[in-house]
Structures are given as C-alpha cells and as structure tokens.
Amino acid sequence: MTRSVLFMVLVFMAGTALAQLPVPANPLWKPVADAVYLQEVGSQIVTEQPLAAVAVFRGAVYVGDSAGLWRVDDGHELTRVHEEVGGVTRMKTLGDGVYAAASDGVWKISAAGPAKVADLGASDFCLHNGKVVVASGNSLYMLGEAGPVALVEGKGGDLLGVASYSGTLYVHDGKRVGVVERGDIRYEELADWGEFEGGCTIRDMMALGSRLIVASNEGIDVLRGMTWYRIRGKDGLCYEDTTCLAFGFDGDVWIGTMRGAIRNVKDQYQYFGKERWIPGDKVNAIACSDNAAYIATDKGLGIIAYEPYTLAKKAAYYERWLEEWGQKRLGFIHGVFLVNGEWLREVSDNDVGYSSHYMAAKCFEYAATGNAGARDEAVDMMKSVKWSEEITPIDGFPARSIYAVGEKCLKAGHGSGGLPAEWHPTPDGVWEWKGDTSSDETDAHAYETTIFLSLVANDEERKWATEHLHRVMGHIVDNGFVLRDVDGKPTRWARWDPEYLQTPYGFYARGLNGLEAFNYMTTALHFTGDEKFAAGKQQLIGWNYFADILRQKLAFSPGMITPFDDRLAFYSYYPLIQYETDPELRSIWLRSLERSWEIKRIEAVPWFNFIYGAVTGNDCELDRAVAHLREWPLDLRRYSYTNSHRDDLCRPKGYRAYAERAKPLSPRETEPNRWDGDFMQLDGGSAGGNVVADVGGWLDAYWMGRYYGMITPPQTARARDDENLVTVPKRGLKLGAEPYNGPPRPKLRHEQ
C-alpha cells in the first residue's frame, strides 16, 4: 500500500480531512531497513570474592575462584560443584572438556565428570595439533593418556601464556612473545615488519585465524604472518590497560580491561562498563557461548546475552515496559524512583512537557500504521494537555504538572532556577497544579498540538485542540510576549520580550527565545487563522531578533553547552519551518537550523537527525541515528557511568568538535534520556539503578522515522514471518510503581 493510499484510508477511518505533515518529495537520505540485529540483555551475579576464571561447556557456565569451582544455575546463582577441585586461577574450554588450573593440579571437567589430569601448577592451556598443551613453570607439557609429557623446557622465567598459531606454538613470559622451534623457545626475530615494543606487561595471548592477539597494559598487539600491528586508543580501543581475551560468537573478540570489557565486532569497539553491565571494574576472564558473554570480575559475573530484535520489537518492548513499571498516569508519562525500597512515580517539575514525546510518538504511530489504539492514546493525552490549561484560573496559562491531592508519589519540591515549587490547589481541593510555567512547556504544547492536529484530529477534535493552541499562544501575545502567573508577574523563564532579553538572565537566550516566539505566532496563525498572530509576528520582526536566532545554538564555552536547550530549539524548528510562508523569514530559520545541525550532528541523537531530515530533505546521517536507537539498553533504569578514563576519546573523522567536546558516546555507555540529556557527557548517571527513565523520546524518534520513511517496517522474511521478532507478549507484571488509583481527569469544557 502506498503512503498516499494508506493516508486516505486513515482519513476515512478518522472521519476528517487531515492536514498531513509534508514529507520531502525527493530526499537526499536513503531509508534504513529495520533489519534483524542482536540486542544486548544484561544481568549480573554479585560475589564477595573475585572470580578468576570462567568457561562455557555444552551449555553449562563454570566460574572459578580461590575457593574452587562453581556453576551458574538457571536462577542466575552460583552453585558449588566438584568440591574436590581446589582454588581455580584459569579455565579454558578445549575439545571435549574444560581444563582448569587449580591449586592442586590440572583438572578436566567433561561429560564424565571431573578428573585430575596432571600434578602441575598451570598458568595457561591451548589446543595444538589436537592435543592439549599446558604452560607450567618455564616449560610446556602435552597431555596424553599416560599423563603430561614435556615438550619444551625454557631457559628463562616462567611461561605465563601459550597459543597455537599457524601450526606453531607461541608463548609469552609477561614481557616477551616467543615461538617454539625445534624444542627451544626463540624470542628474537619473530617479525620482519613492525615490532612488539618491550616494557609492557603482557596479560593474555590468543590465536584467532590469521592473527595472534596479545593483550597488555599498553593495549593490543597483533601478529599477522610476520608483521606486528599495534591497536591503541587512537585506533578505537576504548581502554588500553587490557587483561584478557576471548573468542566471541559472531566473528567478534572480547577484551577484558582494568576498567571494563570491550567487544570488537566488525571493526567497531563497544564498551561495557561497571554498574550497567558488569559488577566490578577489573575483568579477569571472559568466555562466550553461542549468544552470550560471561565476564568474570573482582565483584562477580557480568552476563551480556544477545537476542535477535528489530526496532519494531524494541518499540513494543518499551511500550510493555511503561505499563509494567507504572509510568503512565492521567494521560502523562513519568519517571519512577526507588524510595525506601518502594518504587514511586514522580509528579515532576515538567510532566506536561516531558510527556509530549510520547504523545507525538502515538500520533506518528497512528499515521504510519493506522493503529487505532495509538490514536485513542493520542486523543487521551491531548485531552490532558488541554486540561493543563483549563485547570489554572488564568486563560491560556498551562500548568507544568498536575497532582492529585493525597496520591502516592514523589511530588516535585523544587521550582525554576532554585526557587521553591509553586503548587496551587483547585477550588474543589481535589487537585494541585504547578505554576511558574516556563518556555519548556509552551514549546512542548506547540510541538505536540500541531502534530496532533496534522495527523490525528477528526473534525470535532480539531475544534478543541485548535482552541487550546489559540488560548496558550493567545495568552503569550496578549500579555506582551510573557506568561503571566497568578501574581500577575511574568514567570521565571517564559519571557520573549526585549526588556527581559537584555537582562543578564535573558541575554544569552535571545536567539532561542526569539526562535520560540516566531514559532508560536507562525503555528498559531497557520492553524487558527487569527490575524492577531500575524500582528504579533510583525511585532517580533520589529524587535529584530534575527542575528541572535541565526546563532541560537550556543557553543563557545563549555558552560554554554545546554542539551536541554537544544531540545527546545528543535521543538521550535520543526513546526516553524514547515508552516512559515515568508521565503525570506524561512531562509533565516533554515540557516539557523543548518548552523545548529552542524554543531549537533556529531552526537547522532536520532530525534534531532530526523527533524533535520524531515524539514530539509537533506542527508541526516540515518545510519548513525538508527544505530543509536538500536544501542539503547532494554533496561531503562539509570546507572552511574564513567568514561573519562578511556583512551579512545577522539573526535570521529568528518566532524568538528565544538566547545572542547570530543567523542559522542553510545547509549549503552551512558544512560537513557528524553533527548534533553548529554550523550557527550563522559561521567554521570544515578548510582544503583534507582531511577527509571521514561522512554517517550526514543518512541517519538522511532515513530517519526517510520512516518517519514526514514526507517522501514521490518523488511526481512524472517522478521515478517516470526511474530517474536516484531512484538513481545503481554505479561501483566507489576515491576515498578503501583497503578494510579486516584480521581479521574475531570470532564473538559468541550465534554460538558
């Protein structure tokens, strides 16, 4: 079904003639297929003592520590097994069993059970010509049916590692790499090109196809044939102080470090840090099954499993998450906090604004798929947006948030700019509404209301939604371009008048606030036709904010990097550029957007990319944006994260680093946010995963991408034919806050 035919079907279903949002006719971006990809799913087993070794054999996962051998059971707990095995320092799966270096010798764990195979103090093992070779002391032994047979006796210190590469045994002693030749070990002239630089501490060595890979405290070195290559931070290696190596399951290599784990797949290095992914910084060993990595650390075991997903399935998963964690209430979306062992919804400083992303997502989803449930939810949320204005005694003045008196929640106790919260009771005593409303809210009202009017509203809904837009934007222009609170004074942040924008508080915001004000007047005029918005626009033209609007994105000092303001700007660019009819003004808005986009695009945050592509038709780096969506973790709890120690903090090729900000981080390396967070902030987060973010921003970006054809529906036959790749089952679980059980939203004026 073509987009135009689908649209006519949706129009018929809604009973209206929608003003569909324009889609670029011949965009310079190429759609990205929603192909099946591997999605990380993390879990952890915390231990009191360090885990030294890990191995996987026929579906069973074994770990070793100073007490002996343990197995991971189905409940993701460690069960002591084979108690005759002493403290374990190293394990490898070789052939038909797991070989363990224990305090009392070398053990083999196989289907037949445990068996001691050598009274040797082993440091490493490998499989060579079908036989197991053991490094012990300064010698190498081959394990046979009659026991160990000496292969090579070294002349120096102890051998700490052994690997079979290209039919030859290679060893290391912690400082040097050597090759076994004719019963001796040679450490010189291993290569004709490049060199393995001495002075480092070698910690592991592994053969993989055409390569011998060496991990040291200074990075990774690779021997290919007779050429040494170095891999360091500038080459993408996230952290150079490496500890161990492991084969992956998808052509990948896992690298342990003193500060986290690294996965190298398809020439990309992916970082997995403490808290979200692993329980401790120091990685001692890694082993992989056919779909998971098991990471032994000083604090326990990190398990990163991989499941086939599509973005469509991820969207369904996140929808289920919102329900199971109790994040929906009265037509708003909320964060959830763990307080004294209980999960509570936050009635925040900005519920109406924050919820706009989820409402926009429902609008885009309905327009892209015709899903009646998405339409119903969009209509319900739009009523709550309208309620936020009707609940206040001031025409056109919307509340920040609404609280049901006595409800069980975290009620925001702070206001703007360090001021106390302004909660006002309704005359009936049932509700309180939060005042001192800012431009954040009015930007959100303009964004979500215009999308609702364009994609969802039928004739009846168009009347009251248009009235809402008229009242809020009318209040602004009627009050001299300010929001005027119950005390008759302008609120702390909602001012667009030149008097305020000349003050120290307002001067830096001249560009952003000017952009917002033009958006309000332009969109209100487009949808209401009221000439007072045309007059308001002329007033703004007279105030001459244009030079500041061109450079609204501030980037000239680290203190001016404000991602939350970027969100407000793109809230405004999106409707303004679409509904501007004056070519000269539109050229200014486009120039401003181009400048902002050039600064912003390094981050690859998809909502910004998609808005830029939607209003310009230009290339908007869809591959990076879609990768960002795929890299969001399934667990939406916020954890602390640290990246400032990393060695790969280099500006990606093709981008300029503005205001001393070098490297964009993957969502798997930071935390989920509503697009008002900073994916270039190296350290941050919330310790312990005690805060649950809402996922409205992700869903807004995904469904916007689907609506504009930037992301296709699942394309492969595998995804189309397998329901498990496009959706998730309903489980009816209650994982977070209790469902809201307070008074319902009252009838709105148009419903009475």
Residues 515 and 442 sit within 8 Å (Cβ to Cβ): no
The least confident of 253-262, 269-278, 398-407, 502-511 is 502-511
- pLDDT attached to residue 718: 73
Digit-coded pLDDT (tens) for 532-543? 999 999 999 999
| Rg over CA atoms, the chain | 30
The least confident of 539-553, 650-664, 702-716 is 650-664
Name which residue leads in pLDDT, 416 or 56. 56
The rounded mean pLDDT for the chain is 94
The least confident of 52-61, 412-421, 524-533, 617-626 is 412-421
Digit-coded pLDDT (tens) for 89-124? 999 999 999 999 999 999 999 999 999 999 999 999
Identify the band that residue 396 occupies on the pLDDT scale cut at 50, 70 and 90: very high
Instruction: Retrieve residue 230's tokens.
Output: 């170095």
Q: How far, in Å, CA of 433 to CA of 403, rounded?
A: 6
* CA angle at 177 for the pair 176 and 179, rounded to the nearest 5°: 135
Identify the band that residue 155 occupies on the pLDDT scale cut at 50, 70 and 90: confident
Tell me: pLDDT of 596 over 50: yes
Residues 511 and 548 sit within 8 Å (Cβ to Cβ): yes
Identify the band that residue 363 occupies on the pLDDT scale cut at 50, 70 and 90: very high
Residues 166 and 191 sit within 8 Å (Cβ to Cβ): no
Digit-coded pLDDT (tens) for 304-322? 999 999 999 999 999 999 9
- pLDDT attached to residue 7: 36
- pLDDT attached to residue 658: 78
Residues in the chain: 752
Q: How far, in Å, CA of 128 to CA of 112, rounded?
A: 23
C-alpha dist (Å) from residue 28 to 154, 596, 605, 668: 64, 19, 19, 29
Which amino acid, 674?
R
- pLDDT attached to residue 76: 86
End-to-end CA separation in angstroms for the chain: 40
Name which residue leads in pLDDT, 248 or 686. 248
Q: How far, in Å, CA of 586 to CA of 577, rounded?
A: 6
The H or E element spanning position 548 is helix 546-550
Dihedral pair phi/psi, residue 195, rounded to 5°: -155, 150
Q: How far, in Å, CA of 707 to CA of 146, rounded?
A: 69
Tell me: pLDDT of 659 over 60: yes
What are the DSSP calls for 614-661, one per residue? HHH-S---HHHHHHHHHHS-S--EE--B--TT-S---PPTT---GGG-
Closest CA to 683 of 671, 694, 693: 671
- pLDDT attached to residue 11: 37
Instruction: Retrieve residue 473's tokens.
Output: 């934007």
Dihedral pair phi/psi, residue 432, rounded to 5°: -130, 145
Dihedral pair phi/psi, residue 335, rounded to 5°: -75, 160
Identify the band that residue 706 occupies on the pLDDT scale cut at 50, 70 and 90: very high
Tell me: pLDDT of 255 over 80: yes
- pLDDT attached to residue 559: 62
Q: What domains are defined for the chain?
A: 3-36+310-751 (1.50.10), 39-309 (2.130.10.10)
C-alpha dist (Å) from residue 187 to 198, 224, 231: 12, 16, 21
- pLDDT attached to residue 10: 36
Identify the band that residue 558 occupies on the pLDDT scale cut at 50, 70 and 90: low
Please give the sequence-ordered ranges of beta strands (E in DSSP) within 242-291, or none if there are none.
242-247, 253-257, 260-265, 268-272, 283-288
Closest CA to 531 of 578, 477, 466, 573: 477
Tell me: pLDDT of 159 over 70: yes
Residues 133 and 95 sit within 8 Å (Cβ to Cβ): no
485 Cβ contact partners less than 8 Å away, ≥ 6 residues apart: 394, 397, 422, 435, 436, 437, 491
DSSP structure class, residue 22: P
- pLDDT attached to residue 656: 86
Torsion of CA 686, 692, 693, 698, to 10 degrees: 120
The least confident of 109-123, 536-550, 553-567, 608-622 is 553-567
DSSP structure class, residue 492: E
Digit-coded pLDDT (tens) for 448-482? 999 999 999 999 999 999 999 999 999 999 999 99
Torsion of CA 106, 109, 110, 116, to 10 degrees: 40
Residues 370 and 9 sit within 8 Å (Cβ to Cβ): yes
Instruction: Tell me which residue has tokens 């050039």.
Output: 598
Q: Is 698 helix (H, G, I), strand (E, B) or coil?
A: helix
Torsion of CA 248, 253, 256, 261, to 10 degrees: -80
Residues 674 and 354 sit within 8 Å (Cβ to Cβ): yes
Tell me: pLDDT of 253 over 60: yes
Dihedral pair phi/psi, residue 361, rounded to 5°: -60, -40
Digit-coded pLDDT (tens) for 422-458? 999 999 999 999 999 999 999 999 999 999 999 999 9
- pLDDT attached to residue 692: 97
Residues 331 and 352 sit within 8 Å (Cβ to Cβ): no
Mean pLDDT of 388-406: 98
Closest CA to 638 of 250, 200, 276: 276
Residues 291 and 249 sit within 8 Å (Cβ to Cβ): yes
Identify the band that residue 140 occupies on the pLDDT scale cut at 50, 70 and 90: very high
| β-sheet bridge partners, residue 37 | 309
Instruction: Tell me which residue has tokens 């947006």.
Output: 385
Residues 712 and 719 sit within 8 Å (Cβ to Cβ): no
Tell me: pLDDT of 674 over 50: yes
